[in-house]
A and B are shown apart, each in its own frame.
Chain A
Amino acid sequence: MSAAREAILTTLRRQLKRGPLSDESRSRLQQRLAQPPRHTVPQRGLLPHSEQIGLFIRMAEQADASVQRLSTSAAIPAAIADYIQRHNLPSELVMAPDPSVSELPWAEQAHLRTRVGAAGDQDKVCVSPAFVGIAETGTLMLLSGAQTPTTLNFLPDAHIVVLPAERIVGPYEDAWQRLREQQVALPRTVNLITGPSRSADIEQTLQLGAHGPMQLHIIILDHPS
């Protein structure tokens, strides 16, 4: 369909009353893509890091996520076992292959059956690590990858996310900056997740638990080892 491509581009240029852009204009636009200018960043997120954590928790809870702070990662398996029990969830757990969650002392929780990998239809509870947390709106950023499959974020009923406190940033712009610094190219999927899934399509009344997880639990780690 390259005929369609040419036709559309020709029409656009005719309507803009010009030919293809000059080299100078093109390099100006290339420059803008390479060094993205910042627009006004809401003051709300521009806080010292310690206050960003508080804001993240407030905003995530406002979006109906539950949040728990732990000191070290060694405490995660026990906390999750407790969460599962309190919410009457099945004691089978699928987790991301990422070592930050898969290599925790799970053996200490003898009654939990754990599996590592992508999620399937039968999985009800899962654990995965977040890339960053964005305080401005209490939003998690999760990246797809061999260690962090995307299905974990959507198929199970309960999604538990581990987020080191040092990975909480204020505004979105800082999250993008971290992503640009740490990744050569974007992964297939970048998920921004704020609370559990919901729908208001029936009589505009909000119901939690649509097609994605019905509950989202965030564990903030103050001292990840």
Chain B
Amino acid sequence: MQTTSIHFKANARRALADESLQRSLTRMRVGFQHKRAVAAAKLPEFETLRDQARDLKDHVLEHLDFYLEAFEAKVKEQGGQVHWARDAAEARQIILDICQAVNARTVTKGKSMISEEIGLNKHLQAHGLTPIETDLGEYIIQLRQEHPSHIIAPALHLHKEDVAETFHQHHAQYGLTRKLTQAPELLSEARQVLRSQFLAADVGITGANFCVVETGSTVIVTNEGNGDLTQTLPKVHIALTSIDKLAPTLDDVTLLLRVLVRSATGQETSVYTTFSSGPRRADDLDGPEQFHVVLLDNGRSTMLGTEFQDMLRCIRCGACMNHCPVYGAVGGHAYGWVYPGPMGAVLTPQMTGIDQAGHLPNASTFCGRCEAVCPVRIPLPKMMRHWREREFQRHLSPRSVRYGLRAWSFAVRRPALYQRLAGLGAWLLKRLARGRGRLSRLPLAGGWTAGRDLPAPSGHTFQQQWRRRGRGV
């Protein structure tokens, strides 16, 4: 996928002026935040489970080589195949090879962010295959040739009128020409159209929320049932996942599921949680004849042992973006790549380069809500700060920021000078305010005062006031 993270500022300005998007985002903020809060309150052990989920993921990361090998052995033992991919290109090739080996024409797909990460659909299409997204949200945006704007609610930015328009345009070929207006009708039409696709597909590709080492299973967590039809009906099932998704045992995956679903949609559990282990057995009446697991690295291994290791705990619930004031204001597309919100602001620079994605870790007020709701307690603000440091070290920040910081650092290391300058500033700002107590315009800070007034200081710095008060005691 083409990244436009470098244009984040322009993307964000456009998003803020997009009235339709703003209505969608308002709905999102109310819905997700409320549902998570209710679900968390209904489980008294929730905070304890979050601590344990964090510790479990840390344990897995410390022994990742062992668990990957053990998982691979278990999958093979049950007749499945495991493919390792260093990067997106390798993963795409592996999947294309599997599809071509069975002369596949159509491929149904369950929802997978890794598929977005490696740009799988475009690659399959370029080689004459037809990939069909079957998750309702993914299906809608595939028809519209858009990208997901949220990792668990891909069509979050759209309204039902948009969906109706899209279906009207694309479903005429199936003889469905009535223009629909209600969400239930739209869902029912999508069900009808996709049903025949499920039955006709040669290969089914799903993601995997988790890989269980104990049993060699991949796990998908869904509500629609599309993932299950995708992986049950075709003769080949490919589970596309990444090396950071391992859970050692069924008990461990249960812990992660308990925090994942509540953090994501606020459900007690998802409608379907499905464990797949190997291909259909000799006497099974249905199920795929081949089972493949593709394990993608794509830069994750190099995050281990660095200040970004904690990010590998992420279980992709989306709570960080649901609670982020920046995501809530500009939506997912502004971030310009696959992963938006706070988790995207940490992952995107890793995967596309800080020179491309430098704006993302800067687009944060460090309010800390993402870390406060993260089910595996990832210190997201701290990691965004690490990216800002790297950006500064590599001289990628704008000149004004670098010179400004250099001047500030010169002054702050000379307390006498700093106090004098601060005193001068406070005095000047008070004079400029002319007794109104606020400034509606300020040289060099037009960006700040364009949207609001700057409260004027009292005329004395904190240190001056402290000294005066000290004398008075």
Q: Residues of A with Cβ closer than 8 Å to B?
A: 1-2, 4-5, 7-9, 11-13, 15-17, 20-21, 25-26, 29, 32-33, 36-40, 42-44, 59, 62-63, 97, 117-118, 121, 137-139, 144-146, 149-151, 153-155, 172-173, 176, 179-180, 185-205, 207, 209-213
Contacts and interface: CB of A to CB of B under 8 A. Distances in A.
B250 interface: yes
Nearest to B309: A15
A213 B224 CA distance: 9
Interface residues of B, number: 103
A153 B265 contact: no
B28 A204 contact: yes
B286 A118 contact: yes
A188 B280 contact: yes
Interface of B: 24, 27-28, 31-32, 43-45, 48-49, 52, 56, 62-70, 78, 83-86, 90, 94, 134-137, 140, 153-156, 158-160, 163, 183-184, 186-188, 191, 194-195, 198-199, 213-217, 223-226, 228-229, 232-233, 243, 248-252, 254-255, 257-258, 265, 268-281, 283-287, 291, 295, 297, 301-306
B284 A210 contact: no
B64 A42 contact: no
Given A37-B251, A209-B191, A190 B217 contact: yes
Contacts of B194: 211
Given A191-B272, A192-B274, A211-B229, A9 B65 contact: yes
B280 A153 contact: no
A212 B85 CA distance: 32
B232 A15 contact: no
A194 B187 contact: no
A11 to B, nearest CB: 4
Contacts of B69: 9
B186 A42 contact: no
A201 B254 contact: no
Closest 5 CB pairs of A and B: A212-B225, A210-B224, A201-B137, A36-B249, A15-B305
Contacts of B153: 200-201, 204
Contacts of A193: 271-272
Contacts of A38: 251
Contact of B191 (A150, A176, A211): A211
A56 B418 CA distance: 67
